[in-house]
Amino acid sequence: MQIKINPTLTPDIIFRCASLHKSFFPKDHFSSLLSVNTLSCYYNCIFEQSNYSIIAFDGDEVVGFLFAGSSYRGIQKKMILNNTFDMILTLLKHPKYLIEKLFTYNKYVKTTSDYRILSIVVNNHKRKVRGVDLLKTLFMQANTNIGLSVNYKNINAINFYFRNGFIVDGFSGKNLLLSKC
């Protein structure tokens, strides 16, 4: 297993990140209902906005990743505009997310931190890399305060952040804002 910092991100690597997200994000999270193609577009947007792309490889396979950048602004809007059909289809199939999306569309919550974790996922079945390894790599690169927002139902991720010294900075709709100095 090898952790690479800011490797050249090919469409294949982006696709692998999207597949990992689809497989390992909590199933009650709206994004895990989207197609891998739509998620690939999401990760393209995330990558464009990232200052740090930290990817764990096992051979060619992506077994974990962390993207961090100074802003999440525009990522969601761009993804919706580029994948309107898939988004509408997914919302029609799962109407319980419709109200939530209408209220949060284009709402951007700025954290007080310099950098923000835009996404982190590890392959929890293979256990080749741990989330903490990716987080430590980020801390070594970006020696500043780091923030993020996480769905309040994602207890596993919230505990992970608490174990690693993050504290609650605020709330925004269904999300907790966390930060670490």
Ligand X SMILES: CC(C)(COP(=O)(O)OP(=O)(O)OC[C@H]1O[C@@H](n2cnc3c(N)ncnc32)[C@H](O)[C@@H]1OP(=O)(O)O)[C@@H](O)C(=O)NCCC(=O)NCCS
Binding site for ligand X (CB under 6 A): 24-26, 120-122, 124, 127, 130-132, 150, 154, 156-157, 159-160, 163
Task: State which residue, 26 or 81, has the beta carbon closest to ligand X.
Answer: 26
Minimal distance, residue 85 CB to ligand X, in Å:
26
Task: State which residue, 89 or 180, has the beta carbon closest to ligand X.
Answer: 180
Does residue 101 sit in helix, strand or coil?
A: helix
* Interatomic CA distance for residues 79 and 37, integer angstroms: 11
Minimal distance, residue 94 CB to ligand X, in Å:
18
By Cβ distance, which residue is nearest to ligand X?
131
Task: State which residue, 84 or 159, has the beta carbon closest to ligand X.
Answer: 159
Minimal distance, residue 159 CB to ligand X, in Å:
6
Task: State which residue, 77 or 130, has the beta carbon closest to ligand X.
Answer: 130
Characterize the bridge pairing of strands 146-151 and 115-122: parallel
* Interatomic CA distance for residues 88 and 95, integer angstroms: 10
b/e per residue, 40-76, with b = 16+ CB within 10 A?
Answer: bbbbbbbbebbbbbbbbbeeeebbbbbbbbeebeebb
